[in-house]
Amino acid sequence: MTTDDLDARAAALDAQHAATDLRDRFLLPDGVVYLDGNSLGALPVGVPEAVESAVREQWGRDLIGSWNTHGWWDAPERVGDAVGRLVGAAPGQIVVGDSTSVRLHQSLHAAAALRPDRSVVLTEPGSFPTDQYVIAGVATQVGWRVEHATPAEIGARLGSEVAAVVLSHVDYRTGELLDLPGITAAAHDAGAVVVWDLCHSAGALPVGLDEHDVDLAVGCGYKYLNGGPGAPAYGYVAARHHAAFVNVVPGWNGHAEPFAMAGVYRGAPGIARARIGTPPMLSLLALEAALRAFDGLTIDDVRVRSLSLTRFLRDAVAAVVPEAALVSPEVDRLRGSQVAFRHPDAYGIVQALAARGVVGDFRTPDIVRLGVAAPYLTHADLVTAARTLRDVLDRGEHLNPAWSRRNVVT
Q: How far is CA 364 from the centre of its chain?
A: 19
Report the Cα–Cα distance between both ends of the chain, in Å, rounded. 39
pLDDT in tens, 2-55: 667 899 999 999 999 999 999 999 999 999 999 999 999 999 999 999 999 999
How far is Cα 198 from Cα 195, in angstroms, rounded to an integer?
10
State whether 193 and 320 are in the same domain.
no
pLDDT in tens, 230-265: 999 999 999 999 999 999 999 999 999 999 999 999
Q: Mean of the per-residue pLDDT values for the chain? A: 96
State whether 204 and 244 are in the same domain.
yes
State whether 290 and 336 are in the same domain.
no
pLDDT at 408 exceeding the cut of 60: no
- Grade residue 403 by pLDDT with cuts at 50, 70 and 90: confident
| Domain end position, chosen among 262, 294, 326 | 294
How far is Cα 160 from Cα 1, in angstroms, rounded to an integer?
50
pLDDT given for residue 2 in this prediction: 65
| Proportion of the chain above pLDDT 90, given as a percent | 96
| Domain end position, chosen among 263, 294, 325 | 294
pLDDT at 405 exceeding the cut of 70: no
How far is Cα 14 from Cα 8, in angstroms, rounded to an integer?
10
Average pLDDT over residues 345-360: 96
> Closest Cα partner for 35 from 359, 333, 275?
359
State whether 290 and 313 are in the same domain.
no
Number of independent structural domains in the chain: 2
- The residues carrying an active-site annotation are 128, 197, 222-223, 369
Domain assignment of residue 36, yes or no: no
What per-residue string of b and e applies to 78-93 under the rule 16 or more CB within 10 Å gives b?
bbbbbbbebbbbeebb
pLDDT at 311 exceeding the cut of 70: yes
Average pLDDT over residues 73-91: 98
pLDDT at 410 exceeding the cut of 70: no
Alpha-carbon torsion (216, 222, 228, 230), positive or negative? positive
Domain assignment of residue 265, yes or no: yes
Contact indicator for 122, 164 with CB cutoff of 8 Å: yes
Contact indicator for 81, 92 with CB cutoff of 8 Å: yes
pLDDT given for residue 404 in this prediction: 72
State whether 264 and 342 are in the same domain.
no
> How is the chain split among helix, strand and coil, in percent rounded to 5?
45, 15, 40
| Proportion of the chain above pLDDT 70, given as a percent | 98
How far is Cα 52 from Cα 286, in angstroms, rounded to an integer?
10
Average pLDDT over residues 301-324: 96
pLDDT given for residue 155 in this prediction: 94
State whether 155 and 117 are in the same domain.
yes
Q: Which domain holds residue 92?
A: 48-294
Quick check: pTM over 0.85?
A: yes
pLDDT at 319 exceeding the cut of 70: yes
Count CB atoms within 10 A of the CB of residue 31: 9
Domain assignment of residue 260, yes or no: yes
Domain assignment of residue 38, yes or no: no
What per-residue string of b and e applies to 234-272 under the rule 16 or more CB within 10 Å gives b?
bbbbbeebbeebbbbebebbbbeeeeeeeeeeebbebbb
What per-residue string of b and e applies to 193-202 under the rule 16 or more CB within 10 Å gives b?
bbbbbbbbbb
Count CB atoms within 10 A of the CB of residue 327: 18
State whether 75 and 215 are in the same domain.
yes
| Domain end position, chosen among 236, 260, 294 | 294
State whether 276 and 343 are in the same domain.
no
Count CB atoms within 10 A of the CB of residue 175: 25
CATH code where residue 152 lies: 3.40.640.10
Q: Where are the beta strands (DSSP E) in 162-252?
A: 162-168, 193-197, 216-219, 234-237
State whether 259 and 332 are in the same domain.
no
Domain assignment of residue 40, yes or no: no
pLDDT given for residue 225 in this prediction: 98
